[in-house]
Amino acid sequence: MTETVKKPVSVKKTVLRLLLYFVVLDVCIITLYPYFAMLCTALKTRTEIFEGISVLPITAVWSNFIDIWSRAPMAKYMLNSVMIAGGSTIIAMLCGIPAAYALARMKFRGQTAFLGFVIVSQMFAPVVLLIGIYQVMQVLHLTNSIWGLIFINAAFNQAFTIWLLRGTFMGISADMEQAATIDGCNRIQSMMKVLLPVAAPGIVTTLIFIFINAWNEYTVALCLIQDDLLKPLTVGINTFNGYNIIEWQYLFAASIFAIIPVVILFMCIEKNLVSGLASGGVKG
């Protein structure tokens, strides 16, 4: 019997692998350190924060995470954020899926111009159009309304929704829909029963990104909402940012509660995230 001789790993490959591990470790540290510092600050007392002795708290004050609920209407802020992000996500998907399907499967006059308009509209940040947005919301009597923020967030995420879902639909063969049509399905039924289940990874990825963008939106909400009980969480945590002093321990404790839903969503879609983005990047 001949014994298999293992080839020694070259020194060059070992060095390159160690260098790769070192770079990945550095990137992880740089990315995660702000969150670590946020958690440490949230566990400090006000005196310890301003003394600035060390990053780590001398004595962890876990009561800061409880005190914020009595010092500000945190539950109402979180509910408002859920309503705004959830409502804008639903509207953006309901409008974006048919538009993306039409651009991927149908040929109509002005299709190229419409697609170009979708791309161009993605270039404008909400802050650039803030004055116009405020005037439009005033005319519609939505300046101090959760519905106003829902419509605005849905509108600004519409271009991203159409573009990503169009790529997802174009990456799926049209033969399956044609087979469903032969079996007696119309275009809407073939889209609902055949196309959408196959495109589920891309749809879920798009949905989560819209939700996160709406959840993190700050500037428009700050300008449109005056009633304290209608503020989303991103604006509501400014309660701990006073005129004379900033309560850093409460501000960072509230910020941690603000990022928890985003972390949970990413954990839920981790398996579909790469495949969804890849399918949405198909050249068409």
pTM assigned to the model: 0.82
Predicted confidence pLDDT, tens digits, the chain (284 residues): 455 555 555 777 888 888 989 999 999 999 888 888 888 888 888 888 887 777 788 888 888 899 899 888 999 999 999 999 999 999 999 999 988 888 888 887 877 888 888 778 777 777 788 888 889 999 988 888 999 999 999 998 988 898 888 888 888 887 777 887 877 778 788 888 888 888 888 888 888 889 988 998 998 999 899 888 999 999 988 888 876 788 888 889 998 988 888 888 777 776 665 554 444 444 44
- 69-280 CATH: 1.10.3720.10
Encoded tokens for 202: 């891309």
Residues near 259 by beta carbon (within 8 Å), at least 6 away in sequence = 35
Q: In 3-state terms, what secondary structure has residue 54?
A: coil
Q: How far apart (Å, rounded) are the C-alpha atoms in residues 274 and 242?
A: 42
From the list 89, 106, 86, the residue with the least C-alpha distance to 98 is 106
In angstroms, the CA 157 to CA 215 distance is 12
- Cross-strand partners of 246: 241
Instruction: Supply φ then ψ for residue 241, to 5 degrees.
Output: -105, 85
3-state secondary structure 101-135: HHHHHCCCCCHHHHHHHHHHHCCCCCCCCHHHHHH
- Reference 265, options 214, 225, 221; nearest CA is 214
The continuous run of DSSP H or E covering 69 comes out as helix 64-71
Q: What pLDDT, on a 0 to 100 scale, did the predictor assign at position 280?
A: 45
Q: Which residue has the tokens 């990047």?
A: 281
DSSP calls for 195-245: IHHHTHHHHHHHHHHHHHHHHH--HHHHHH--SGGG--HHHHGGGGB-SS-
CA separation, residue 29 to residues 47, 263, 264 (Å): 28, 17, 21
C-alpha triplet 169, 97, 171: angle, nearest 5°? 5
What DSSP string describes 123-190? T--TTTTHHHHHHHHHHTT-TT-HHHHHHHHHHHTHHHHHHHHHHHHHTS-THHHHHHHHTT--HHHH
Distances 269 to 93, 168, 194, 226 between C-alpha atoms, Å: 17, 16, 22, 35
CA distance 58 to 44: 8
